[in-house]
Amino acid sequence: MDRKRIWVRRPHGAATTVLVSASDIVDDLKTALIGKYATSLGRTHDAPDISIRMSHASPSSGQHSPHGRRKRRGDTVRRELAAALDPHIVSQQHTHQPGSPSEEDDRVLQPDEVVFALLDKFFPTGMSMQDAFLVEVPDDIMPVASHNRVPIAGVLTPQEGVISDDDIEFLRGHIPDIFHAQSTQSLPDEATYHLQSNRHGLEVLDQQQRASSADPYGAPPYLPQHGSFRQSHGHVHRKQTGSPASGRSGASGPVSIPIVVSSTMTPQISTQPPSHPGPSRPQPQPIQQHVDARAIHSAGTRGVVDDEGRVGRARSPHRTASPHPHPLSHNHQHSHSHSGTVTPTQQTQTQSHVNVKSPLQNVTRYEGDSASSAGRDSSDVERETTVTPINTNIKESKADTSEKKDNSDEKSVNGTGLKEKSSRHREKASQQVSLGSGLLFDGVVPPVKVLIVEDNIINQKILETFMRKRRIRSGVAKNGREAIEKWREGGYHLVLMDIQLPVLSGIEATKEIRRLERRNRIGVFVDEDAGNIKEDDVLPPHRFKSPVIIVALTASSLDSDRREALAAGCNDFLTKPVNLVWLERKITEWGCMQALIDFEGWRSWKGSDDAEKDANGSSTSNSRSRRPKAVIRSK
């Protein structure tokens, strides 16, 4: 059977050919095209979704100047966009050419049409490059707020105007796809949309997100300071005009947000590694895109990482303190601040190995951090290192929750998985709505038990609820003495120890716990005469696999206090009032380490958790059930 060659091209793309057989219909052609554009369209769209447009076919093809052809194609694009913007616009001037002025030859091809028949009818003398069919996908047409912003194979000039929330919704829904689209061709032209949005617009957006979810961008811990999309073609650029519009400095006015909408975007977009005190981790690139794009949206109102690159929770008072309820309702979003705490935990964090190291690294690093965190209250430090697909929580999965995430994240990196992920996350989002503080860990937290030692019942309640929402088991003690007793019951992986406690101070309690551990040979440091242990000091061995991690909650940020806590045997510290985003991070980092060590404990926990779930009859889709498949015992 003879095959014929037909020409196709992407909007603004170079023309290319595919071979079709006599029995092929347009649907087959689409399949072939997906293969042809495997790295761009193929990653984000299915064959049926693409549309093939024939335009300006002429029996006398080839006789028109290339220039004229191109112009007409531009017209086609413009018409399409105009039509998209305003359905009432009647497409006029279908063709400029004489010959076959019927509408028939400028239309989208139907899947059941036989390709050969089309060729015979419209290209009897054969198809030339200029006749190339246009391969389009729905995303190619992006409505924008103003009708003036019709992209015509070039850069849009910034238009004054507000981006409506609908637009942002739309964009957010599509940007991930676009980011993933990768064209193998080099496109000289790139439609770059400069969207001007005022703070309010974005503010509203953020408000919505926060309202509907546990604030993906509540405080993403990481916000790459100078995120820059680096494209293979060097087109991309992301600018944040003006200083970080943090609430502190009073957000500036309109922020220009260039959003590159082109298929030349490669996944190699990278952002500056956020400098934060946590473990450094390689960020999966595609996810970065989301971060940045997302950051783009939010950066306007929220500002970014502060000068030191410290990540801290930053919330613009305007955003959080909104006395103006916004009627808009977004049905998505959960931002997860990542900060190390990146809320969206959809990222692939392959750092199991780093986890073990990180808490130790953190200890020393936090010294410095706390210094700055002291000023946390007054400084809006951006902790928006949430990386999530735009239309879902942007969370960066913390390293800790890695294992489970690895597989699913890998998939998402490819782009095709992203959509699934998005919807999965959206489901999750609804379950995470009230996790609080934009800590969207996507429900993935280490299966540990935490002892909360706080004398003020209000603080106790806050921490307890925090734990409960994350399905972390917890116990409470109101002074040092109680703390030791509770701890002795066993099963605690982490202790949040308020340093200033009545009866027995936190410092004293810590010292005592460490002493008992040494006496009982729990952990690395063992007393020499541990053999002669007093009866009172004995602890049931099976419940104490490793020394408990003690995180001191210090009211002051004085170095001396911190050092005292560390010297007494604390592993880490947080200053009060406790920033829940940081707390989550600590729990994750330390907790995962502990969970790895206490594999048996995890297993029995998991057993009881599953039983619980069966009893409840509902799957809360707590990712913990999908928890570490391979927990390697580090013994």
Partner 1 sequence: MANLDPETVADVIDWNTFGQILEMDDDEDDREFSRSIVWNFFEQAENTFTQMDTALTNGDLDQLSSLGHFLKGSSAALGLTKVKNSCEKIQHLGAKKDETGTTELNDPEFCLKEIQTILESVRQEYAESESFLRKYYDSEESGSN
Q: Write out the residues near partner 1 by the rule CB under 8 A.
A: 210-211, 214-215, 218, 247, 313-315, 317-318, 320-321, 323-325, 377, 380, 433-438, 454-459, 461-462, 465-466, 469, 498, 500, 502, 555, 576-581
Q: How many CB atoms are closer than 10 A to CB 185? A: 17
- The DSSP symbol for 263 reads T
Give the integer Cα–Cα distance in Å for 630 and 616.
27
- In terms of CB distance, is 310 or 318 closer to partner 1? 318
What is the Cα–Cα distance from 319 to 65, expressed in whole angstroms? 56
Distance CA 291, CA 144 (A): 22
Structure tokens at 5: 């060659």
Q: How far apart are CB 494 and partner 1 at their closest, in Å?
A: 19
Tally Cβ neighbours within 10 Å of residue 446. Answer: 29
Shorter beta-carbon distance to partner 1: residue 231 or 437: 437
Minimum gap (Å) between residue 257 Cβ and partner 1: 23
Three-state SS for 351? coil
Q: Select 435 or 595, whichever has its Cβ closest to partner 1.
A: 435
Between 218 and 415, whose beta carbon lies closer to partner 1? Answer: 218
Minimum separation from the CB atom of position 589 to partner 1 (A): 19
Residue placing its CB nearer to partner 1 in the complex, 104 or 377: 377
Least Å from the CB of residue 469 to partner 1: 6
411 vs 469, which CB is nearer to partner 1? 469
**Closer residue to partner 1 (CB): 138 or 317:** 317
Judged by beta carbon, residue 466 or residue 602, the one nearer partner 1 is 466
Q: What is the 3-state secondary structure (H, E, C) of 96-130?
A: CCCCCCCHHHCEECCCCCEHHHHHHHHCCCCCCHH
Least distance in angstroms from the C-beta of 445 to partner 1: 15
CB of 323 to partner 1, least distance (A): 4
Closest distance of CB 6 from partner 1, Å:
56
Task: In angstroms, give the least distance from the CB of 299 to partner 1.
Answer: 18
The least CB distance from residue 551 to partner 1, in Å, is: 16
CA 442 to centroid of chain Cα atoms: 11
Instruction: For tokens 């949040």, name the residue.
Output: 496
3-state SS class at 38: coil
Partner residues linked to 572 by β-bridges: 551
Distance CA 303, CA 291 (A): 14
Residues 6+ apart with CB under 8 A from 443: 428, 431, 432, 470, 471, 620, 621, 622, 623, 624
Nearer to partner 1, 11 or 436 (CB): 436
Cβ within 8 Å of residue 18, ≥6 positions away: 5, 6, 8, 29, 32, 33, 36
What CA–CA distance (Å, rounded) separates 129 from 289? 35
Q: What is the CA radius of gyration of the chain?
A: 29
